[in-house]
A and B are shown apart, each in its own frame.
Chain A
Amino acid sequence: MGRFGRFSAILFMSFSFLLSTVLFSFASGQPQPWQMGLSESVTPIMTELLWFHDDFLLWIIGFVTFFVLFLLIVVVLFFNKRFHPVPSTTSHNTAIEVIWTVIPILILIVIAVPSFRLLYFERVIPEAAMTIKAIGHQWYWSYEYPDHEDVSFDSVMVEDEDLKAGQPRLLAVDQELIVPVGKVVRLLVTASDVIHSWAIPSFGMKIDAIPGRLNESWFKAEKVGVYYGQCSELCGVRHAFMPIAVRVVEQEIFDAWITMAVQSGPEDANELLTHRHKILSRTVSLKNGG
């Protein structure tokens, strides 16, 4: 029996080694199959978060976990009935107790410094180029552009049967939120019925949409592309079916889009986006005096 017990103790330890694999970071605005780490960064916040988690915290917690595992392996191998039949009677050692109180405190201080820096970086909102309001409803998001004559539209998930080629299931929406690249966007978030939460993993963002309260956050998307997120606060039956999609476009395209949206509505403006290259070449030729 004792032998089997030691066997199972060793088995679980080798298993734990297998489990504690190194994490990776994957690229793109949506999750990837077998992704093991945080998403690729698109905003300064996410870049900082990637450093904080992948290059800093993961090493610390990995070290602590393997240190505990190492100590467990040592006691299992050396302080068992067979190899160490006479137990010691030590039950106090002030020095070591002080050490294992003080060293964790030091580690925590080392963690706290970048953590606070990052917190204030995230939550102290910089001067914004534009403001967008996101409102959570059961079960879709709606967006308003208060700086642009209150252009507003609903953003509803595309059902499986209506998916076009390249649209990811459960993430694609009929009308994406359009924002310019490289600009600080101030996001005001609220909800009309129950609590929802606006989140985009590759922005490192999550902010609750709470009825009766206006929450504020910001992002500065630094790469053109479409970035997806999902409602992150349980909001009822179709909680899993109200995704968030943000299309980050060049400033010229955004200007063209918002002008069109102000004039003839966001549906028509979205038509423009399909002719993205035409707009770009036109603006380039305009700049060249053509």
Chain B
Amino acid sequence: MVTHAADHGQGGYPTGWRRYLFSTNHKDIGTMYLIFGMLNGLIGGALSIVIRMELQNPGLQFFGDPHLFNVFTTAHGLIMLFLMLMPALIGGFGNWFVPLMIGAPDMAFPRLNNVSFWLLPPAALLLFMSLFSEGDSGGSGFGGGWTLYPPLSAGGGPAVDYAILSIHIMGIASLLGSINFITTILNMRAPGMTMHKLPLFAWSLLITSFLLLLSLPVLAGALTMLLTDRNFGTTFFDPSGGGDPLLFQHLFWFFGHPEVYILVLPVFGIVSHIISTFSCKPVFGYLGMVYAMISIGVIGFIVWAHHMYAVGMDVNTQAYFITATIVISVPTGIKIFSWIATMWGGSISFKPPMVWVIGFIFLFTVGGVTGVVLANASINRALHDTYYIVAHFHYVLSLGAVFGLFAGWYYWFPKISGYMYSFFLAHMHFVVQFVGVNMIFFPQHFLGLAGMPRRYIDYPDAFAGWNYISSIGSYVSLLGVLIFLFGVFEAFLRKRPAASNPWGDGANSLEWTLPSPPPFHQFETLPHIK
């Protein structure tokens, strides 16, 4: 890892394994989160490649047992959400750059920070244990989908219990992290940095943390009820005992919907910084951006049942959820237009982070407009649980959030590692990944409109054409991931030192005032914000 010569004489800090296991340093913890997220991203990505290989042609290809296919889709979802995106965006970039951006020496509760990271490996271990123990349908692993709907998740062996406990632990880790972020951002801003001068990335983390704090306990309650249903004879979700399977869906989506904003809000923050940096312009409509994020967070809590239009809800309730859901596209539109207005009149240099962000804006728009379609309960009932949904949420998460993640990576990699990466490889990565993911997910809109249900190991022969294209796309994006990994490897091999501010005048948040990589402890004298 990086050495910190600048720390000499600043008092000792642990070295070797102690430095990481006992770490209370936000940058080391952030680095561990990033590595953790990256490893799990590779596992989750590998699962998705196998899924696409199976779906490349009609008939059963690789999975003798359809249960195993369900286990793969379930694990792909859980890993990508809880072990890749959340750790990388919130734990990784959040830990690294919130303190740097607000001029704080570290997070408010460094030991809590350590706990919240080190809870994740056991959670991952439980999830992987779940894959290899007996689940529903007698096969190994749990194949009931990441949404864990009972009664399907109420039966079967311990695989479900392991998965539930794993999500519980991830939840605790996220809650501790959220408490830490909220305290840090509210109390440890440099003198002069009022809330209305807070960098947008810090704002996005603050809002994300509040969403986590309010939604995770609801999920924890639902999971605990499921756990006691499974093991202690309660019947919260079992109609034979007076329970209701729909109660679980309401509780789950009360968490599940804010969760998607939890994933994408940090990306909104990252995107704003990158656009401002490479357009050499301040963010257009800063206050509008802040209040758009806040209203996305607030409205995100009152739209959950739009995931449940097919369950037979009261028609007036559905009318309410349609209204609330389409309203959320207003603040999202404000963000898209403000980003474009930031670029408008700017002097854009197309460095890799900027190219990724332009890709993000377009793909997020595509995912956003299909969201407006899906908000309408009537058409939603034709498209619910089809590949149209899969295409929609991958456009906003896999293409939106992940493109934001890569943009952030190429933006901050020089700051984190102290090395410059190859722009050529980064651009190559973008082109290949962009072509790949669009090839995977755009045809899935067609499959969904034609009625192909999701979570299907085999499909009627008519769906073969677009599925084939989609699978080829996944191999192209695998090539993109390999270019990415090679780019990281190349950067560490060549060791081109990065300047403290490699991006020029546009990059004016506080992290660029520090050397690359920053010293072990920064801001021993607090910066003053004018």
Q: Does A223 contact B (CB under 8 A)?
A: no
Give A194 to B245 CA distance when docked, in angstroms. Answer: 9
Give A197 to B152 CA distance when docked, in angstroms. Answer: 13
Shortest Cβ distance from B244 into A: residue: A212
Name the one of B288, B434, B458 contacting A97, with C-beta atoms under 8 angstroms: B288
Of B337, B347, B424, B450, chain A has the most CB atoms within 10 Å of the CB of B450
Whether the Cβ atoms of A204 and B382 lie closer than 8 Å is: yes
Q: Does B246 contact A (CB under 8 A)?
A: yes
Whether the Cβ atoms of B282 and A35 lie closer than 8 Å is: no
Interface 9-mer from B185-193, B369-377, B493-501:
B369-377
Q: Does A72 contact B (CB under 8 A)?
A: yes
Known A-B contacts A35-B450, A68-B336; A49 and B382 likewise in contact (beta carbons under 8 Å)? yes
Give A46 to B378 CA distance when docked, in angstroms. Answer: 10
Residue numbers in A under 8 Å from B284 (CB-CB): 90-93
Give A118 to B135 CA distance when docked, in angstroms. Answer: 41
Give A19 to B443 CA distance when docked, in angstroms. Answer: 9
Q: Per-position contact with A for B418-461: 1 when CB-CB < 8 Å, else 0?
A: 00000110010011001100100010001001111101111111
Name the one of A91, A108, A115, A232 contacting B386, with C-beta atoms under 8 angstroms: A232
Whether the Cβ atoms of A197 and B340 lie closer than 8 Å is: no
Shortest Cβ distance from B336 into A: residue: A68
Interface 9-mer from B5-13, B123-131, B160-168, B327-335:
B327-335
Known A-B contacts A52-B376, A213-B312, A239-B455; A80 and B382 likewise in contact (beta carbons under 8 Å)? no
Shortest Cβ distance from B428 into A: residue: A8
Give A16 to B431 CA distance when docked, in angstroms. Answer: 12
Give A231 to B240 CA distance when docked, in angstroms. Answer: 23
Whether the Cβ atoms of A12 and B376 lie closer than 8 Å is: no
Known A-B contacts A15-B434, A90-B284; A232 and B453 likewise in contact (beta carbons under 8 Å)? yes
Q: Per-position contact with B for A203-214: 1 when CB-CB < 8 Å, else 0?
A: 011111011110
Whether the Cβ atoms of B285 and A91 lie closer than 8 Å is: yes
Residue numbers in A under 8 Å from B394 (CB-CB): none
Residue numbers in A under 8 Å from B310 (CB-CB): 197, 206-208, 232-233
Give A170 to B126 CA distance when docked, in angstroms. Answer: 36
Residue numbers in B under 8 Å from A170 (CB-CB): 458-460
Shortest Cβ distance from B365 into A: residue: A68
Whether the Cβ atoms of B446 and A36 lie closer than 8 Å is: yes
Give A72 to B245 CA distance when docked, in angstroms. Answer: 46
Whether the Cβ atoms of B326 and A31 lie closer than 8 Å is: no
Q: Does B466 contact A (CB under 8 A)?
A: yes
Residue numbers in A under 8 Å from B427 (CB-CB): 1, 4-5, 8
Name the one of A81, A88, A208 contacting B349, with C-beta atoms under 8 angstroms: A81
Q: Does A129 contact B (CB under 8 A)?
A: no
Name the one of A100, A112, A201 contacting B450, with C-beta atoms under 8 angstroms: A201
Shortest Cβ distance from B452 into A: residue: A31
Q: Does A27 contact B (CB under 8 A)?
A: no
Q: Which residues of A, 98-131, contact B by the 8 Å Cβ criterion?
A: 100-101, 104-105, 108, 111-112, 115-116, 118-124
Residue numbers in A under 8 Å from B326 (CB-CB): 108, 111-112
Q: Per-position contact with B for A11-29: 1 when CB-CB < 8 Å, else 0?
A: 1110110010001001000
Whether the Cβ atoms of A195 and B434 lie closer than 8 Å is: no
Known A-B contacts A23-B449, A235-B152; A5 and B281 likewise in contact (beta carbons under 8 Å)? no
Residue numbers in B under 8 Å from A93 (CB-CB): 284-285, 341
Whether the Cβ atoms of A53 and B385 lie closer than 8 Å is: no
Shortest Cβ distance from A12 into B: residue: B434
Q: Does B217 contact A (CB under 8 A)?
A: no
Q: Does B345 contact A (CB under 8 A)?
A: yes
Q: Does B354 contact A (CB under 8 A)?
A: yes
Residue numbers in B under 8 Å from A38 (CB-CB): 382, 449-450
Q: How far is the CB of B453 from chain A (nearest CB, A)?
A: 5
Whether the Cβ atoms of B370 and A206 lie closer than 8 Å is: no
| Range, interface on chain B | 35 or more
Q: Per-position contact with A for B124-159: 1 when CB-CB < 8 Å, else 0?
A: 000000000000110100011100010110000000
| Range, interface on chain A | 35 or more
Whether the Cβ atoms of B431 and A61 lie closer than 8 Å is: no
Residue numbers in A under 8 Å from B451 (CB-CB): 31, 39, 199, 201, 229-230
Known A-B contacts A1-B423, A8-B431; A208 and B355 likewise in contact (beta carbons under 8 Å)? no
Name the one of A34, A120, A210 contacting B312, with C-beta atoms under 8 angstroms: A210
Q: How far is the CB of B63 from chain A (nearest CB, A)?
A: 11
Q: Does A224 contact B (CB under 8 A)?
A: no
Whether the Cβ atoms of A169 and B312 lie closer than 8 Å is: no
Residue numbers in A under 8 Å from B462 (CB-CB): 30-33, 35, 168
Q: Per-position contact with A for B282-301: 1 when CB-CB < 8 Å, else 0?
A: 11111010000000000000
Give A35 to B372 CA distance when docked, in angstroms. Answer: 22
Whether the Cβ atoms of A212 and B434 lie closer than 8 Å is: no
Give A73 to B501 CA distance when docked, in angstroms. Answer: 28
Q: Per-position contact with A for B314-345: 1 when CB-CB < 8 Å, else 0?
A: 01001100110011011001101110110111
Q: How far is the CB of B75 from chain A (nearest CB, A)?
A: 14
Give A240 to B365 CA distance when docked, in angstroms. Answer: 32
Q: Which residues of A, 27-76, contact B by the 8 Å Cβ criterion?
A: 30-39, 45-46, 48-49, 52-53, 57, 60-61, 64-65, 68-69, 71-72, 74-76
The 5 closest A-B CB pairs, nearest first, are A212-B239, A5-B350, A201-B451, A88-B345, A61-B369
Binding site for A on B (CB under 8 A): 58, 65-67, 70, 136-137, 139, 143-145, 149, 151-152, 239-240, 243-246, 279-286, 288, 310-312, 315, 318-319, 322-323, 326-327, 329-330, 333-334, 336-338, 340-341, 343-352, 354-355, 358-359, 361-362, 365-366, 369-370, 372-373, 376-379, 381-382, 384-386, 423-424, 427, 430-431, 434-435, 438, 442, 446, 449-453, 455-466
- Residue contacts A-B, CB under 8 angstroms, 20 given: A1-B424, A2-B349, A5-B350, A11-B431, A12-B359, A23-B449, A34-B446, A35-B449, A35-B450, A37-B449, A48-B378, A72-B358, A75-B344, A79-B345, A115-B377, A122-B378, A168-B462, A195-B149, A199-B453, A237-B143
Binding site for B on A (CB under 8 A): 1-2, 4-6, 8-9, 11-13, 15-16, 19, 23, 26, 30-39, 45-46, 48-49, 52-53, 57, 60-61, 64-65, 68-69, 71-72, 74-76, 79-81, 84-93, 96-97, 100-101, 104-105, 108, 111-112, 115-116, 118-124, 168-171, 189, 193-195, 197, 199, 201, 204-208, 210-213, 215-217, 228-241
* 6 additional A-B residue pairs with CB within 8 Å, beyond A39-B451, A121-B378: A13-B362, A49-B382, A75-B340, A79-B343, A118-B376, A120-B319
